[in-house]
């Protein structure tokens, strides 16, 4: 429930509604409950977007032009070490973006729902979404003619103590039976939200899965360059990620980006990897860092 219902919802629901109505016409006693899905990341992610937009562009926000926004994104990527700074910024927009313009800001999406600017700021609180959109959805569903039992309607968050208690009981019961367990696995992770970012939680990148790389450690042999003086006594490695480790046999050289931004990051008490900030942070969230979930840069 991170917005109002649209035609796609009506299309999907029509199959259930038609089936329920058919069986009623056949004289059967049909129970069709309905609830509002409010768990997961979509609402929290949308609320956080609003908060960031207000912090960056004001309240109400003054958004940059399309060209300025494109340059801002590219500058941000360069700061993160994802791009090499070109002589001049050139638009790297996709065909779709070039055709339809930049993606809408969350504030603009809220305006498209008919909300005035003075009300939109309230939605930086995730709980506001739970109070606002389900009643609107209920009215739309009534207009649609949904024949459900509204007495059983609820929302799926801990704001509903009955639902919250049921889910907790279910998880504890399954864990006690040995049916589920808590463990580590590779996943798409959102540092901003501090939790995994599942497929349906993402604004973009649906279908993307974790990509396995092999990290090749190339030791820097003493004597070290003067810039590495403070790292004496440590094992220093140039760390390169590859999808084809079998091609590394017989390697004679290692190429680096002259304009790339690299740092010396602690992996443990003795080893230091030469990496970009982004790569070091990626490893840190896999606990390949002296401080888990934190990339500690020495140089």
Local confidence pLDDT in tens for the 299 residues of the chain: 888 999 999 999 999 999 999 999 999 999 999 999 888 778 888 898 899 999 999 988 888 877 666 666 666 555 555 444 444 434 444 444 444 456 789 999 999 999 999 999 999 999 999 999 999 999 999 999 999 999 989 998 888 999 999 999 999 999 999 999 988 888 888 887 788 887 777 767 778 888 899 999 999 888 888 888 888 888 999 999 999 999 888 888 888 888 889 999 999 999 999 999 999 999 999 989 998 888 989 88
Domains of the chain, residue spans? 7-63+105-176, 214-284
Residue 89 has a pLDDT of 38
Does this model's pTM top 0.75? My answer is: no
Token output for 240: 């390169």
pLDDT of residue 96: 41
Distance CA 85, CA 73 (A): 12
| pLDDT computed for residue 248 by the predictor | 84
Q: What are phi and psi of 263, to 5 degrees?
A: -140, 165
Peptide bond into 150 cis (omega under 30): no
The region, left, alpha or beta by phi > 0 then psi within -120 to 50, assigned to residue 288 is: beta
For residues 185 and 177, the answer to whether their CB atoms sit within 8 Å is: no
Instruction: State both tokens at 173.
Output: 């019961």
User: Which residue shows structure tokens 């009955």?
Assistant: 162
Name the residue among 3, 5, 36 with its Cα closest to residue 111. Answer: 3
Query: Which two structure tokens, joined as six digits, stand for 247?
Result: 């091609």
Q: Are strands 263-266 and 235-242 parallel, antiparallel or unpaired?
A: unpaired
Sign of CA dihedral 257, 263, 266, 271: positive
C-alpha to C-alpha distances, 26 to 13, 16, 30, 65, 194, nearest whole angstrom: 20, 16, 10, 59, 51
């Amino acid at each position: 429930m991170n917005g109002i219902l649209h035609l796609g919802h009506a299309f999907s629901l029509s199959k259930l509604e038609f089936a329920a109505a058919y069986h009623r016409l056949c004289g059967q006693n049909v129970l069709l409950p309905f609830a509002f899905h409010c768990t997961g990341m979509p609402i929290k992610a949308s609320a956080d977007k609003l908060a960031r937009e207000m912090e960056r562009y004001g309240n109400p926000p003054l958004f940059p032009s399309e060209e300025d926004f494109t340059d801002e994104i590219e500058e941000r990527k360069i700061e993160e070490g994802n791009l090499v700074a070109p002589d001049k910024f050139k638009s790297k927009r996709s065909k779709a973006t070039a055709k339809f313009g930049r993606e809408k800001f969350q504030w603009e999406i809220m305006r498209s729902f008919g909300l005035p600017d003075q009300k939109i700021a309230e939605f930086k609180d995730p709980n506001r979404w739970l109070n606002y959109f389900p009643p609107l959805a209920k009215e739309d569903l009534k207009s649609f003619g949904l024949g459900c039992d509204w007495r059983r309607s609820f929302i799926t968050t801990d704001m509903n103590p009955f639902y919250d208690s049921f889910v907790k009981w279910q998880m504890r019961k399954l864990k006690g039976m040995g049916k589920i367990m808590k463990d580590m696995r590779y996943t798409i992770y959102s540092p901003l939200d501090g939790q995994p970012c599942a497929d349906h939680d993402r604004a973009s990148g649906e279908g993307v899965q974790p990509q396995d790389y092999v990290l090749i450690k190339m030791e820097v042999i003493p004597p070290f360059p003067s810039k590495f003086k403070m790292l004496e006594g440590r094992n220093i490695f140039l760390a390169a990620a590859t999808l084809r480790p079998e091609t590394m046999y017989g390697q004679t050289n290692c190429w680096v980006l002259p304009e790339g931004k690299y740092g010396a990051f602690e992996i443990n008490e003795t080893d230091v990897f030469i990496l970009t900030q982004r790569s070091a942070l990626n490893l840190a969230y896999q606990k390949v860092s002296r401080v888990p979930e934190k990339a500690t840069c020495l140089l």
